[in-house]
Amino acid sequence: PIRFRSPLVAPPQPAATPVTEGLKTLLADSYALMAQTHVAHWNVEGPAFFQLHTAFQAQYEELFTAIDDIAERMRALDVLATGGMKALAGFSGISELEISPLPAKDIVAHLNEAHEHLVSNAQSAKKAAEEGGDLETQDLIIGRIRTHEKTLWMLKSYLKNL
C-alpha cells in the first residue's frame, strides 16, 4: 500500500548547529529590525521628517531583501527558516519601539541600539561559520555586518550634536 504523509506533520529536521542557530538569530533580529524601521518610517515627525522618512524606507526595503537571503541560506543548509511573528520575536532580542509621539532623535537612538545588537549577534554567527568552515554563510554574514555598520555610521552621525 502507498502511505501518504500528513501535510501537517513536519519531516524530521537535521540537528541544529552553531551555524544554523546563528542564522536563525540573524533572521529573527533582521525581521524585528525591519519591522521597527518600518514603524519609525510611519511615525517619525519633526524638522528632519523628509530625510528620515526616506532613509527609513530605504533601510526597511534593504532589510526585506536581506531577510530573504538569510532564509534561503538556511534552506540551502537543509534547515527550515523560522517564520511567524511570535516565533521570530522569541528568537530576537531587539525591543519594540514605543508607539507614542517620540522625538526623532529617540527613534534614531532606538534603531541605533537595534543595529548594534544585530551586529553583535552577527559577529557571533560569523565566528560559528568560520569555525565550521562554511565560507558561504560567512560571506553572507560579512555582507550583513558591513551594511549594518554603514547604517550605524549614518544613524550616529545624525545623533551628533543634538
Per-residue pLDDT band at 106 (split at 50, 70, 90): very high
Separation of alpha carbons 136 and 20, rounded Å = 13
- Which residues have CB under 8 Å from 149's CB, separation 6+? 119
Cell of 32: 524585528
Question: What are 109-118's pLDDT values in tens digits?
Answer: 999 999 999 9
| Whether pLDDT at 92 is above 70 | yes
Long-range contacts of 45-52 (CB under 8 A, 24+ apart): 45/101, 45/104, 46/103, 46/104, 47/104, 48/104, 48/158, 49/104, 52/104, 52/107, 52/108, 52/158
Question: What are 29-88's pLDDT values in tens digits?
Answer: 999 999 999 999 999 999 999 999 999 999 999 999 999 999 999 999 999 999 988 899
Cα-based torsion angle of the residue sequence 140, 145, 147, 150 in order, rounded to the nearest 10 degrees: -160
Separation of alpha carbons 44 and 54, rounded Å = 11
Cell of 77: 543548509
